[in-house]
Amino acid sequence: MLRGSPERELAAWWEAEAEAEAEAEAATAAKAQAAKEQVRVDPGAAGEPERKAAEEQPKEPTPGPHRTAEEGDARVSPRPPPALPVFRPKPAPAQGLCPQGKSGSKGRSCKRSSGQSDEYCSPRPVTVDSSKARTSLDALKISIRQLKWKEFPFGRRLPCDIYWHGVSFHDSDIFSGQVNKFPGMTEMVRKITLSRAVRIMQNLFPEEYNFYPRSWILPDEFQLFAAQVQMVKDGDPSWKPTFIVKPDSGCQGDGIYLIKDPSDIRLAGTLQSRPAVVQEYICKPLLIDKLKFDIRLYVLLKSLDPLEIYIAKEGLSRFCTEPYQEPNPKNLHHIFMHLTNYSLNIHSGKFVHSDSTSTGSKRTFSSILCRLSSKGVDIKKVWSDIISLVIKTVIALTPELKVFYQSDIPAGRPGPTCFQILGFDILLMKNLKPILLEVNANPSMRIEHEQELSPGVFENVPSLVDEEVKVAVIRDTLRLMDPLKKKRGNQSQQLLATKENPSDSELAGNTNPEAHLPSICLKQVFPKYAKQFNYLRLVDRMANLFIRFLGIKGTMKLGPTGFRTFIRNCKLSSSSLSMAAVDILYIDITRRWNSMTMDQRDSGMCLQAFVEAFFYLAQRKFKMLPLHEQVASLIDLCEYHLSVLDEKRLACGRRGTAGARPPSSGTPQEAAPAAQLAEGHPPPCTNSAHRLSHSRHTPS
């Protein structure tokens, strides 16, 4: 459950969201009514003589036919406006936003007469480059059509507002706008990288990250895996575990199999062929209709810094097609019983295609919740646990994502902003505890399925369940990322102010241009619940230190000079930790991590190696504290010394320009925390782990 008071915070999530939406609608309606009253009063009180004079003047000639500029047209300098133009609004047109008395055509700007401000013309539609969308193209097209935006299916010479990539950030080179992929996300959610990221968090907060099965990385940790399994069996001879092996680069269930013992001959083949992750298999899943199922939830990472996370309130439930039995040597190879992957079960003769959201082999998640609720299950607690799992998982992924991001889009250089839809695969245990199976950087957004008409002959058939869920996720993601939303709202309000007697429908349409769309299906969970989870973001703070000392823009690994500078600037060397010992520490950890990782693009220390070194330094300096408090105390110490160093550099820069006296080395108040940290005690004025370990249990 979430920290704090889950009954008050997230146990009533749906009710709170509904109330917030109702309040927002009420506030919008009140503003619209106030604007209407203001517009009705102001024109009569100001400018009657000027309006009469305007009516006596000869009317301007009606502008001729106009063609809006198409992409690639040469830019034409506009004519200079006449001297002292005065804007005089004409009667409201019958429809559209064009103040010229003509209905603005869809997707085009209206004709501007000389002297008229262009801020009252119809705003241009958002442009979307869908040339790299691939399998999500159909759902994207429907979403763009519903939003009345403009799609460029073959790309565009001029920049677009949004670029929709089907695979990765590097599908095409872009330097502006928004792109629906983060650099490095595909690498970060691979089986091995995800397991390592979660393991770091499990070392710091074992109870908070017990939603991810215990994992071993093959082939590097095979000996450790075999030894630990044998040790547990020696202590409990009745223990008969099952393990699931997942190839690191596999997808759609490819190469996954179950084993009962590390001596399984198939495991030997995996060790020789490709890297993999082996995990404890969840033997007691929740069953519906005697079938095992998992949940595909869609999560929008809207921003990395600051961190913004949204969860779709509707997802998909994918069912196995063979009644479930606990694993035994006879059924280990029954993939339709144990693996929930849609891409596997679609080939089962028992797979059921259904247009209903509550029947068949693929259903909506809400239909599952309704069924559980009818049996007395606390659905609010289930949602609370799932939200907690999602936030904690994203927190585990963000540190290395920041390193990837600064490598591809260095600070100070032009580049796009990023967002991404992730697919979380979650399994509910029999006790309703959610377990994270994996995270997908490119969840399938197809809205049709293959149906076999005759042996070997297939046809793509629309899937109503997929379309209902996936189109809403893509459409509402675009709505949240809309780069022109604020500008469009300002123009609508300004145009509304020019009308003498706006109708209620005009007021509603101008104050809410999305009135024809359903409410957004994506609900913000971070920073909304940041107070309950910020204490977990220790590795994120370590990543900020790591990035600071990288030195060269675009690199992802820390060199020996950067590591020595980190030690020196944070004052971590001492009589017991000489700089020679620091060099040995760097060499040992870096060499070991470089032998385990396949990325040999740069030489140096990767972030995960830096984290290991940081843990080592924290354990040396703060020996009597739990690991997460040791790490937090060392982070506080580093951040303190770096802030003092930054202040000194800033003061020196000011002195160089203004001839000011150099600042003192530190006030007594500044010296006290530094002395306490140097002695191994966290300062009372900083955000130490000791304070966090108490405050994280306090309701917000």
Residue with tokens 């550099």: 649
pLDDT beyond 50 at 354: yes
Q: The tokens of 159 are what?
A: 């920049």
Backbone angles phi, psi at 309, to 5 degrees: -130, 135
Q: The tokens of 594 are what?
A: 């470089």
pLDDT digit string, tens, across residues 622-673: 998 999 999 999 999 999 999 999 999 988 888 777 655 554 444 444 444 4
Q: The tokens of 645 are what?
A: 């160093």
Q: What DSSP string runs through 511-535?
A: H-TTTTSPPPSEEEEETTTHHHHGG
Residue 159 Cα distances to 155, 162, 452, 624, angstroms? 9, 9, 42, 57
Residue 454: beta bridge partners? Answer: 457
Task: Look at residues 516, 513, 481 and name the one whose alpha carbon lies nearest to residue 146.
Answer: 516
13-27, 520-534, 683-697, range with the lowest pLDDT: 683-697
How far does Cα 8 stand from its chain's mean position? 25
Spatial separation of the C-alpha atoms in residues 399 and 380, rounded to whole Å: 30
User: In sequence order, what are the residues at sequence separation of 6 or more whose Cβ sits closer than 8 angstroms to the Cβ of residue 626?
Assistant: 689, 693
Residue pair 627/203 in contact (Cβ under 8 Å)? The answer is yes
Strands (E), 455-521: 457-462
Q: What DSSP string runs through 66-130?
A: --PPPTTPPP-PPPPPPSS----PPPPPSSSS-TTSSPPPTT-PPP--TT--GGGSPPPPPEEEE
Residue 300: beta bridge partners? Answer: 310, 421
Residue pair 418/405 in contact (Cβ under 8 Å)? The answer is yes
Spatial separation of the C-alpha atoms in residues 647 and 314, rounded to whole Å: 49
Residue 574: beta bridge partners? Answer: 577
Q: The tokens of 441 are what?
A: 């950087």
Q: The tokens of 294 are what?
A: 């998992």
Q: Could you tell me which residue, 414 or 257, shows the higher pLDDT? A: 257
User: In sequence order, what are the residues at sequence separation of 6 or more whose Cβ sits closer than 8 angstroms to the Cβ of residue 63?
Assistant: 100, 111, 113
User: In sequence order, what are the residues at sequence separation of 6 or more whose Cβ sits closer than 8 angstroms to the Cβ of residue 413?
Assistant: 553
pLDDT digit string, tens, across residues 231-283: 998 888 888 899 999 998 777 778 899 999 998 878 877 777 789 999 999 99
Pairing state between β 417-418 and 178-179: parallel
Residue with tokens 């193209």: 137
Task: Look at residues 611, 609, 614 and name the one whose alpha carbon lies nearest to residue 597.
Answer: 609
Spatial separation of the C-alpha atoms in residues 410 and 441, rounded to whole Å: 22
How much is the pLDDT for 134? 85
Residue 673 Cα distances to 186, 571, 594, 620, angstroms? 42, 14, 37, 19
Q: What pTM value is reported for the model?
A: 0.78
pLDDT beyond 50 at 698: no
The highest-confidence range among 7-11, 408-412, 690-694, by mean pLDDT, is 408-412
Residue pair 513/489 in contact (Cβ under 8 Å)? The answer is yes
Residue 379: Cβ within 10 Å count: 17
Task: Look at residues 142, 235, 129 and name the one whose alpha carbon lies nearest to residue 178.
Answer: 129
| Helix, strand, coil percentages, rounded to 5, for the chain | 45, 15, 40
* H or E element at residue 419: none
In this prediction, residue 700 has a pLDDT band, given cuts at 50, 70 and 90, of: very low
CA atoms within 13 Å, Cβ hemisphere of 280:
16
Spatial separation of the C-alpha atoms in residues 398 and 393, rounded to whole Å: 9
Spatial separation of the C-alpha atoms in residues 362 and 486, rounded to whole Å: 38
pLDDT digit string, tens, across residues 369-379: 999 999 999 99
Question: Which residue type, as a one-letter code, is found at position 513?
Answer: P
pLDDT beyond 50 at 342: yes
Q: The tokens of 288 are what?
A: 């519906």
In this prediction, residue 119 has a pLDDT band, given cuts at 50, 70 and 90, of: very low
How much is the pLDDT for 21? 59
User: In sequence order, what are the residues at sequence separation of 6 or more whose Cβ sits closer than 8 angstroms to the Cβ of residue 321?
Assistant: 291, 336, 345, 348, 350, 351, 352, 361
Q: What is the mean pLDDT of residues 33-46?
A: 52
Task: Look at residues 311, 477, 301 and name the one whose alpha carbon lies nearest to residue 404.
Answer: 301
